[in-house]
Structure 1
Amino acid sequence: MMNKFSQRSQAKELMDDLQSSGSELEQTLRELKTINLLLGGNTVTTSGLEMLIREKPQELYTIADLGCGGGDMAILIKRWAEAKGYRSKVMGIDANPHIISLAKENGSLAKVDVDFRLGNVFDQEFLEGQADILTCTLFTHHFTNEELIQLLTNLKTMGRLGLVINDLHRHFLAYYSIKGLTALFSRSKMVKNDAPLSVLRAFSRKDWEFILQAAGVEKFKISWHWAFRWQVICWF
């Protein structure tokens, strides 16, 4: 039984369909927002941002949240920066047009100035953009090791200061906990399928060390946070 945790799963999540839309998707995004909030995952991203910002003080920070989903993290980053007194321009980027539409609605309702854009992180057009700091929250596990190596290799040319990754730790306790909780409380078939699968697609520390070194990232820091999260900070 433990063998399923020995290496990353290659199975695709329902959310990987870039044309997914409708009420099921909206319910999924609402539930994922709640799960992330309750399990304390948001601070993994903001504490990483704090580290990069303190090391390189400047007047304005351009922050791009990749795979922004419904926009919750991008909105949180903007509010966090304002509360800290950091001037920022925050962008949210996602390849699903339906998700970007929802993110724009959420940003408008929240009355937060975030620029939500449709974009695929593997497209040359996307790579021509520039940002001071890039963030990926629960995004990187959607890709294979090979895809991540290519992505990180490309992102080194885009982020001026660095990258903050916040993603899951592949662990049997995390898997069975989220599988049980979503079976009991979720109303979304997508969440019931994708939440436990995302843990199987997640990472060990050795996975991250291999991926980062293969991508030629010379300076990085990997740290574990509750609940079963890896924070990976890369300096470019």
Structure 2
Amino acid sequence: MSSRSYEEELMDDLEASGEVIPQTLKELETINKWLGGNFVTINGLDQLVRSKTKEKMVIADLGCGGGDMLKLVAQWAKQRKLEVELIGFDANPAIVEYAIENCKAYPNIRFEVCDIFSEEFKERQFDVILCTLFTHHFTDEQLINIFNQFKTQAKKGTVINDLHRHGLAEFLIKWLTHFFSKSEMVKNDAPLSVRRAFKKGELEKIMKQAEIPFFKLRWMWAFRWQLIF
């Protein structure tokens, strides 16, 4: 896997709907929980928000899926006695519909169907932007533009949590989903996501071209990159 794959995932179909959506999102929640990948985002938040503030923080989760990460962020904020407004963005209406139901017990979480490339979204301002398993869906050139955009949109910073492209990671997730997944979308997309993911040098090159000189990039379990800027 010397270079990134740009083959589209089934999840990239913004008109995907039906029973496959809740089934897939439930399985992804379980996978991220048991493989420890969610910690990468929460740890990044801890690094960005070191001091207590009495002002309400607005945190955006792009490509929010079923809202699982925002539930964890809500719990994180409650433990630290922080007031937060949490907004999940996804371009698929069926996914947003599921997320609203999935997070109905959290009054400080809301969702919007939105295209992050739209001029309307580019004008939005947040304290923190989160992207968990989202950035690998885009080309390097798109990411350069997106990260440039985030520089002006996120007052405190951005936390990227995405996959490390590695043969062992692809083998393990293919084995895991083959035996335990009932979702054809998960079986197809999980190993493909690894092939679409990043090597360290690729992320560093993207950051350089996005003219972001100061950032933190580190490898974390399980085959994840944590990128903070």
- Residue of structure 2 equivalent to 1:202: 197
- Residue of structure 1 equivalent to 2:103: 107
CA–CA separation in structure 1 for the residues paired with 2:166 and 2:15: 30
CA–CA separation in structure 2 for the residues paired with 1:14 and 1:159: 30
- Which residue, out of 199, 213, 221, partners 2:216? 221
Q: How does 1:6-45 map to 2 (within 5 A)?
A: 6-45=2-41
The secondary structure found in structure 1 opposite 2:19 is: helix
**Number of matched residues?**
229
The secondary structure found in structure 1 opposite 2:50 is: helix
- Which residue, out of 151, 164, 167, partners 1:169? 164
Matched to 2:191, the amino acid is: P
- Which residue, out of 142, 158, 176, partners 1:147? 142
- Residue of structure 2 equivalent to 1:131: 126
1:135 CA displacement: 0.3
Structure 2: where are the runs of 5+ without partners? none
Matched to 1:194, the amino acid is: D
TM-score under structure 2 length normalisation: 0.97
1:112 CA displacement: 4.3
- Which residue, out of 43, 46, 50, partners 2:42? 46
| Per-residue CA distance 1:100-140 (angstroms, 9 max, x = gap) | 111111111x3442021111111110111110100000000
Identical aligned pairs, as a percentage?
52
- Residue of structure 2 equivalent to 1:73: 69
Q: Does 1:184 align with 2:174?
A: no
Structure 1: where are the runs of 5+ without partners? none
CA–CA separation in structure 1 for the residues paired with 2:177 and 2:154: 36
- Which residue, out of 44, 56, 61, partners 1:60? 56
- Which residue, out of 79, 94, 97, partners 1:98? 94
8 Å CA contact retained: 1:75, 1:112: no
